[in-house]
Amino acid sequence: QLPIIYNVCNNAKAPEGQPSLITWDEVTTLFHEFGHALHGMLSDCKYNTLSGTAVARDFVEMPSQFNESFASIPEIFDHYARHTETGKPMPSDLKDRMLKSINFQTAYSLGENLAATCLDMAWHKISEDEVPSPYMAGAFEKEELYKIGLLNTQIPPRYSTSYFNHVWDGGYAAGYYSYLWTEVLAVNIADYFAKHGALDPAVGQSFR
């Protein structure tokens, strides 16, 4: 069967008469979600219930996080990072500074992800009798983060209890850790691509 797959974006609309521009975060999100689309399109399975994103939660984010790495490959960057009026690629010095800035505050990102991951586990390891009342959810959150040394007002969890949709109805219950787990896998694969030619068709075919 040929898959029917689509990515739906929700980017801010530009004022009338102005071009629609997107931030770097939106660029990486676009590459990330297209990685999910590729996962589905390149699946070759006997049962469609096992194809694409219908895989184990601790693997499903690997193709998408790996695909993010292509956004910062200089040769690919030049294709889309162009001036809206002249169509010229970004000047080399600005491009170099832009790509180097990607690693800015990665420790902050790791901290907020770790906190969210541990918060997810904290909620899903307690029994039904131990679930606090809605009024005490915030106190429970602070207590659990304090126990593991991640209660830091400067680096709060990426998602707090009251709006952690991933783990309440998004299919990631006790599984939000998969983002960090698959990021390690994705970085290893991206490193292989960097060493053997990220745009080499043979390298891409080996990944497929």
Asked whether residue 168 is domain-assigned, the answer is yes
d(CA 186, CA 68): 9
Structural domains of the chain, count: 2
Asked whether residue 19 is domain-assigned, the answer is no
Asked whether residue 11 is domain-assigned, the answer is no
Q: Are 148 and 116 in contact (CB under 8 A)?
A: no
d(CA 121, CA 59): 18
Same domain, 29 and 62: yes
Residues labelled as active-site residues: 33
Same domain, 113 and 162: yes
> Contacts by 128-133 with C-beta closer than 8 Å and gap 24+?
none
Same domain, 65 and 36: yes
DSSP letter (8 states) at residue 11: P
Asked whether residue 28 is domain-assigned, the answer is yes
Helix (H) or strand (E) holding 23: none
Per-residue pLDDT in tens (0 to 9) along the chain, 208 residues = 777 899 998 888 899 999 999 999 999 999 999 999 999 998 888 887 888 888 888 899 999 999 999 999 999 999 999 999 999 999 999 999 999 999 888 999 999 999 999 999 999 999 999 999 999 999 999 999 999 999 988 888 999 899 999 999 888 999 999 999 999 999 999 999 999 999 999 999 888 8
Asked whether residue 87 is domain-assigned, the answer is no
Same domain, 159 and 201: no
d(CA 134, CA 163): 13
Asked whether residue 163 is domain-assigned, the answer is yes
Q: Are 65 and 186 in contact (CB under 8 A)?
A: yes
Which two tokens mark 178? 């998969």
Q: Are 89 and 82 in contact (CB under 8 A)?
A: yes
| Helix, strand or coil, per DSSP, at residue 21 | coil
Q: What is the CATH number of the domain that holds 30?
A: 3.40.390.10
d(CA 53, CA 36): 7
Asked whether residue 202 is domain-assigned, the answer is yes
Asked whether residue 200 is domain-assigned, the answer is yes
- Tell if the pTM clears 0.85, that is, is over it: yes
DSSP codes joined into one string, 146-190: HHTT---TTS--SS-GGG-HHHHTSS-TTTTTHHHHHHHHHHHHH
* Structural domain containing residue 203: 24-71+181-207
Same domain, 129 and 168: yes
